[in-house]
A and B are shown apart, each in its own frame.
Chain A
Amino acid sequence: MKRIVSVILLIFLLGSALCGCSANPGGNINERLIVQGVGIDLGEDGKIKVTVQVLNTEFNAPTGGESGPEELVSIYKLEGTTISDALKSISAIAGKLPLYSHNRVVIIGKSLAESGIDRAVDFFSRDSSCRSSLHIAISETTAEEIMSVKTEEGTIPAKEIEDALDSAKYNSDTAEVLVYEVLKMEEEQTTSIYIPMVKKSKAFDGDGDRVEVSSTAVFENCKMVGTLVGNETRGLLWLTDNVRGGSITIENVNNAEATFTFYKTKSKVSVKVKENNKLVYDVKIKCYVDNAEYNSYNFHTFNEETAKQMEKSMKEEIEKYSKETAEKLLKEYKLDCMRFGRILFIKDKEVYRLLSKDWKNHLQEIEVNVDAKVIIRRVGQGAVKYA
């Protein structure tokens, strides 16, 4: 009897683990709308406009097979009071249920970002089928424009956008921010949100479009108030210990130009509380670099003295970017994207308790010192003339 009962129970229990996709509402995976990217804009009437990029599961490669859709992806444009409200109509249009678990990116239009991104991010954290570890970016124009880009044939535009955002790992010129990180920044009392900005541009071969990360949007209380352009983003990355790759180029050292790749970098921020609760932040940056290129007619000129000069030049450049970015954020925008408030919170909770209530007005009085140390670790395959 025991055996029979255990076998029956096992059949039921194991059977529940053997179900396929068809048990899910919406059916098998090829019967679902596999969402690749979602763009969110603000409509003229204050409603949310959603542009969804979905995979054409019946798409066939041009080499053969039965005919299917010509494009790898389809675009759906929807509207509603909330994102969910807009998205619910997609199944009525397409006749399929959307599947968000494969979504790669969330793009928010500039106008919505300026009116407040809080309307745009909660869905991606709350809905169980979404992943909160998605890439998020702000469009310089509209999210619709970014979601509708025509990339090279055979590529998924959302994947191209995701790759562009992911490239922050290798270039240290752009910021990489995920949805849950935005929500974390939002939750912190003194921290200001920053999100990379993207724009549409022509593909390198002139055939089709591409999306590139252009700058970084900064926010006050979820509303976009400005941007960091050029080297300012790199400065922010130095200040937040987020430089993970990339290179630095210096000129006019022994009449030569040289490029170094970052091997290992570390930024440490400490805070000192001085008289009248004046805050002084010391940013210590240490980075090891490897020489990738040294354009000189004579390798003998790459000697110990030149190396020191190059280290000094790189140090000055890193310090300059970081300091300029800190000044712009603190003095011009009155924003704390560097999490200075959070650092004070850990270091001196009583001063934080006093200042955090009116943190924005204290930002302008903050003094930031940046001290970078650059060490040339390797010089590549080329010869050098060290003593």
Chain B
Amino acid sequence: MEKKGRIGTGQLYALLFLCRLLTTLTFSPSLNSGFSEHEWIVEIALMIVFLVILAIPQYFLYKNNPKKSILEQADAVSEKFSRILAFLYFLAFIFFEIMTVTRFDMFVTSLIYPEMNITFLIVISLFFCGYAAYLGIEAISRASVMLLAVVLVGIVTVLAVVSAKYDVYNNEPLFYYSFYETLEGAFTAACKTSELIMLIMLAPKAGGNVISGFFKWIAAFVLIVLSMFIVLVGVLGDYARTQLFPFYSLALVSEFSLLERMDSVITAIWILSMLIKSAVLFYLSSEMLLKAFKTEKKKTAILSCCVLVSVFTFLFTRSMSSYANLSMGILTDIITVTFAVALPIAVLIIVKVFPKRRKKI
């Protein structure tokens, strides 16, 4: 039997795959400053390079001690440093949680029920996710494996149905617009992969070959995301740029034989992925909180996270301008680079320069 709190590599990457798919489904060109208006397909293809580059520091960190997380490795040097680090990661996870929930709120109140106040639904969903987080990472990852199968079937069905409207002339030639902008867009797309930060904390919990799993995960999700964008651009063309959530608009125009209007499928996929991503972010943020404050009060930690996210969601979804400020591409870029690259490098250097300092003390 596996140790408590440990998951398989397959489960880990299924979980991260589902979380990353949500980011793609909720892609909103008008709200993703940094992501260019054109050449999305090229940007997604180039994203793979940036993802690998962004993952290099954590590769060395993982290689340094595969069984210990970044916090445990920092703890070997200084407990205070480890606790500060835990608090910083708590803030990062809460930020991504707020991003996830506010975007869901924006989606529901812009496209599904514009006249309704869905605060109650959001709060209930958050507490449901909090409960899932309380059950632990094993429960969330087991659920994500099952849901991933459902989600993939749903996405493939939508793409298959809508691809009947594919028109090659809706595409754009490669590198017509500024190459720098395309590169910037690819970098932003990579930075939207908050799963890289989640991986830092979850990799030590996974058994099996995490490194080869990482490359398979990147290859698989870039492939599916690329397919989604190829169909999106080929079907909607320049119209996609004018839409708040282009993948939803794509599902709206889907029609093939008896199958039409697949927006309900996209909505269901969105909700399922949102629940899983929120649960795992709650799990991680509560873990960070426990470590930062050196306490065992798991329920209190999760509850605090739920309340915090509910309050900020309410604040950021009150107006379009506050939501736009939150979704600024540069903010996500800075956070991803800081937590996926800078802090792992810093910890790695400190661990190498001051090995086992705490033990000596």
Contact = CB atoms under 8 A, between A and B. Distances in A.
B124 A9 contact: yes
A184 B239 contact: yes
Interface in A119-141: 125, 128-129, 131-133
A305 interface: no
Interface size class of A (residues with CB under 8 A): 20 to 34
Contact of B173 (A12, A187, A346): A346
Given A9-B131, A188-B237, A133 B169 contact: no
Interface stretch (A150-158, A287-295, A337-345): A337-345
B242 A125 contact: yes
Contacts of A23: 116
Contacts of B237: 184, 187-188
B72 interface: no
B131 A345 contact: no
Given A187-B238, A346-B171, A132 B253 contact: yes
* Most chain B beta-carbon neighbours within 10 Å: one of A24, A183, A184: A184
B112 interface: yes
A359 interface: no
A180 interface: yes
Contacts, number: 70
Contacts of B172: 345-346
Given A342-B169, A345-B173, 8 more contacts: A2-B135, A5-B131, A13-B124, A129-B114, A133-B255, A187-B238, A346-B168, A346-B171
A184 B165 CA distance: 13
Interface in B23-62: none
A23 B255 CA distance: 29
A219 B169 CA distance: 20
A131 B255 CA distance: 13
B176 A349 contact: yes
Interface of B: 110-116, 121, 124-125, 127-128, 131, 135, 168-173, 176, 236-239, 241-243, 249, 252-253, 255, 261
Contact of B124 (A16, A188, A345): A16
21 contacts: A6-B131, A9-B128, A9-B131, A12-B124, A13-B128, A16-B124, A25-B115, A125-B243, A128-B110, A128-B114, A132-B249, A133-B252, A180-B239, A181-B239, A184-B237, A187-B237, A187-B239, A188-B237, A342-B169, A345-B172, A345-B173
B127 A9 contact: yes
Nearest to B171: A346
A1 B252 CA distance: 43
Contacts of B135: 2
A180 B236 contact: yes
Nearest to A339: B169
Nearest to B238: A187
Nearest to A129: B114
B51 to A, nearest CB: 28
Contacts of A346: 168-169, 171-173
Nearest to A341: B169
B168 to A, nearest CB: 7
Nearest to A125: B242
Q: Which residue of A2, A180, A339 has the most chain B CB atoms within 10 A of its CB atom?
A: A180
B242 A25 contact: no
Given A9-B131, A128-B112, A187 B169 contact: no
Interface in A180-210: 180-181, 183-184, 187-188
Nearest to B125: A13
A184 B169 contact: no
Contacts of B252: 131-133
A24 B131 CA distance: 29
Contacts of B170: 184
